[in-house]
């Protein structure tokens, strides 16, 4: 649930945070932290800025998340649920029967002490991982593989969930959160349930400084810039975009919604429908 922060200053007056009172309050599992993780500040290997508006921020430790769930047939107990500063969803710490520990994305409804398992075919229960071919139609799923054995790639953010619509031949038709309908191989693994921490989308930061603490730098409107810095820049007073189309900072006509997905992408035949249905 969301909690409103008490206070009369401008930075906290409208602030809304997710109540983390029921989450683990201690340190993360040390053996599951990435060693030598370094922030790149949006720069590539040559030191040039490849992703804009990145930099600064509070120091964070990256957790190793098990997106493969390849420990088949070994039950695990949910020891605790933790906050992860690197993602919107919470994470759950699993203690396997053979003594190994792993983090997974915490689905909605997963309780501490619950026993979950990863199998080719198992009970349709929140947190269990299984092959898509054995998931009944109409069941909510997340952590979806796009290539068998590669690990979950889509539907991993807070509050997200997809649904199995039907099965045709070697593929299942999955309705994604974006309303896109996509074909996914029946041999790929998925996790039952929706991702937890759904309240995250209702949070309000309250002040610009919290955005800086997250490592996100300011974004300046193109119309407010110098004409040498942006195609929308220059002019007298509050001038609009001008010319024919809105443009990116590099003069490309992609800003007003031009499709940028390559028509030669190999996965094109796996997308059934990309139109959002209200």
pLDDT digits (tens, 9 = 90+) for 187-221: 999 999 999 999 999 999 999 999 999 999 999 99
| Class level of CATH domain 24-201 | mainly beta
CA distance 9 to 206: 10
Is residue 99 helix, strand or coil?
coil
C-alpha torsion angle, residues 114, 118, 121, 126 (rounded to 10): 40
**pLDDT for 277:** 56
CA distance 225 to 54: 19
**pLDDT for 265:** 93
Q: Taking every pair of C-alpha atoms in the chain, what is the biggest distance, in angstroms?
A: 70
Judge if 24-201 and 223-270 fold alike in CATH terms: no
**Could you tell me the fold of the domain covering 223-270?**
Ribosomal protein L2; domain 3 (4.10.950)
**Residue range 59-75: average pLDDT?**
96
Structure tokens at 36: 């030598």
pLDDT 10s digits, 220-239: 999 999 999 999 999 999 98
pTM for the model stands at 0.90
**pLDDT for 275:** 72
Residue with tokens 């690990």: 151
Residue with tokens 């190999």: 266
Residue 170 has pLDDT above 60, yes or no: yes
**pLDDT for 240:** 85
**pLDDT for 261:** 87
Residue 50 has pLDDT above 90, yes or no: yes
Residue 276 has pLDDT above 70, yes or no: no
Residue 278 has pLDDT above 60, yes or no: no
Structure tokens at 223: 């119309």
In terms of DSSP H, where are the helices of 116-273? 208-213
Residue with tokens 């900072």: 249
Nearest to residue 79, comparing CAs of 130, 45, 28? Answer: 28
**pLDDT for 40:** 85
| Separation of CA 173 from chain center | 21
CA distance 67 to 221: 38
Domain boundaries, the chain: 24-201, 223-270
């Amino acid at each position: 649930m969301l909690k409103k922060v008490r206070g009369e200053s401008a930075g906290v007056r409208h602030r809304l945070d997710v109540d983390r009172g029921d989450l683990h309050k201690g340190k993360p599992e040390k053996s599951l932290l990435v060693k030598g993780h370094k922030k790149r500040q949006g720069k590539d290997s040559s030191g040039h800025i490849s992703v804009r508006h990145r930099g600064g921020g509070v120091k964070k430790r990256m957790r190793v998340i098990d997106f493969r769930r390849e420990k088949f047939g070994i039950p695990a107990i949910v020891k605790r649920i933790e906050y992860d500063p690197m993602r919107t969803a919470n994470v759950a710490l699993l203690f396997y029967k053979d003594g190994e520990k792993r983090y997974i994305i915490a689905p909605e409804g997963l309780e501490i002490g619950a026993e979950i398992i990863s199998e080719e075919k198992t009970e349709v229960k929140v947190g269990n991982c299984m092959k898509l071919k054995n998931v009944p139609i109409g069941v909510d799923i997340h952590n979806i593989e796009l290539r068998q054995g590669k690990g979950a790639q889509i539907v991993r953010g807070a509050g997200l969930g997809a649904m199995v619509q039907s099965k045709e031949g070697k593929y299942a038709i999955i309705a994604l959160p974006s309303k896109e309908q996509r074909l996914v191989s029946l041999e790929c693994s998925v996790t039952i349930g929706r991702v937890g921490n759904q309240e995250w989308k209702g949070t309000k930061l309250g002040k610009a400084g919290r955005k800086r603490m997250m490592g996100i730098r300011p974004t300046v409107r193109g119309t407010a810039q110098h004409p040498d810095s942006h195609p929308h820049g220059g002019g007298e007073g509050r001038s609009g975009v001008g010319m024919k189309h809105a443009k990116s900072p590099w003069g490309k006509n992609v800003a007003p919604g031009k499709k940028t997905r390559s028509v030669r992408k190999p996965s094109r035949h796996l997308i059934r429908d990309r139109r959002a249905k209200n």
